Amino acid sequence: MFTKVLIEYANPKDLSDTYTLSFTIRNHSVADTWTKLVDIALKKHAIDDPGRFYQFGAKQHQLDKALADINRTIDIINSHKLLIDRKLTDVLDQDTLNYLHHVFEIYHGLLDQQNNDFWKTATSEVRKALADLNIQVHACEDLARSSSNKPSTYITWYKMPKLFKLEDSQYNLFEDCAKTGTIYLLYCEIGKTFEDLSADNDKYIHDTAFKPFKYFSADFRIKYYNDDPRQIEKKHATMKQYYKTKQEFFNRQALPWGHRYLLPGSIPVADLDTTPPDLIDNLESRQWVKKITLQ
Encode the chain (295 residues) as per-residue pLDDT tens digits.
899 999 999 999 999 999 999 999 999 999 999 999 999 999 999 998 899 898 888 888 888 989 999 999 999 999 999 999 999 999 889 889 989 988 888 888 655 556 678 888 999 899 889 888 988 898 888 888 776 688 999 999 977 888 899 999 999 999 999 999 999 999 988 778 999 888 877 666 666 668 899 999 999 999 999 999 999 999 999 999 999 988 888 998 899 999 999 999 999 999 999 999 999 999 999 999 999 999 9
Distance in angstroms (rounded) separating the CA atoms of residues 94 and 200: 7
Distance in angstroms (rounded) separating the CA atoms of residues 31 and 164: 12
> Edge-to-edge strands of the sheet including 53-54?
53-54, 152-155, 220-223, 182-185, 268-272, 14-25, 4-11, 289-294
Q: What is the pLDDT of residue 275?
A: 95
Please report, for the chain, the start and end positions of each structural domain, with discontinuous segments joined by +: 1-57+151-295, 58-148
Task: Report phi then psi at 85, rounded to 5.
Answer: -100, 15
Q: What is the pLDDT of residue 177?
A: 94
Distance in angstroms (rounded) separating the CA atoms of residues 39 and 163: 15
pTM assigned to the model:
0.85
Q: Does 2.40.100 match the CATH number of domain 1-57+151-295?
A: yes
Q: What is the pLDDT of residue 40?
A: 97
Distance in angstroms (rounded) separating the CA atoms of residues 275 and 283: 12
